[in-house]
Amino acid sequence: MIVSAHCDLPCGVYDPAQARIEAESVKAIMEKYQGNEDPVFRARALVIKEERAQLVKEHLWVLWTDYFKPPHFEKYPHLHQLFNEATKAAGAAGAKGSVDVQVADDLLAKIAEIDAIFWETKKAA
């Protein structure tokens, strides 16, 4: 039996919502961090925030490398740059290395842009 799909499995297994949910967790942790002076709480919050930010990067990488294909990048020429910016916004220079809620908002905005393109590609499929 031969099976053909434009992604690893027939569509339905990828969704930018996974990255968004983790990024929302990052933002919530940053807000809780800002509102709590307890050093033990803050240390734990930082560890969890960094774990969640790493998961954002991993979910974005899967979309970037496994879901989106050359025709998508041709139709949306800024998509590579958008993914690069989003993964950096989740990384050490972004949400992983910051407790500034605006950094999380910027990350969520990048994910929203990716999400919009993702759903446009799903309509065309």
pLDDT at 12: 59
Q: Which amino acid is at 95?
A: A
Would you say residue 113 lies in a domain?
yes
Answer with the residue of higher pLDDT: 7 or 95.
95
pTM for the model stands at 0.90
In a domain, 4, yes or no: no
Closest C-alpha to 36, from 54, 23, 49: 49
Domain total in the chain = 1
pLDDT of residue 123: 87
The whole domain housing 73 covers 17-124
CATH of the domain at 55: 1.20.120.400
Joined together, the tokens standing for residue 45 give 């919050």
Alpha helices in the chain (DSSP H): 17-34, 39-62, 70-75, 79-90, 101-124
Residue 107 lies in a domain: yes
Residue 65, pLDDT > 70, answer yes
Q: How far apart are CA 64 and CA 4, in angstroms?
A: 20
The residue assigned the tokens 């919502």 is 17
Would 115 be classed as within a structural domain?
Answer: yes
Check pLDDT > 90 for residue 8.
no
Q: pLDDT tens across 98-114, in order?
A: 999 999 999 999 999 99
Task: State phi, psi for 76 to the nearest 5 degrees.
Answer: -120, 80
Answer yes or no: is 12 within a domain: no
Specify if 106 maps to a domain: yes
Q: Do the Cβ atoms of 60 and 19 come closer than 8 Å?
A: yes
Tokens, residue 32: 């809780």
In a domain, 84, yes or no: yes
51 falls within a domain:
yes
* Distance, CA of 21 to chain centre: 8
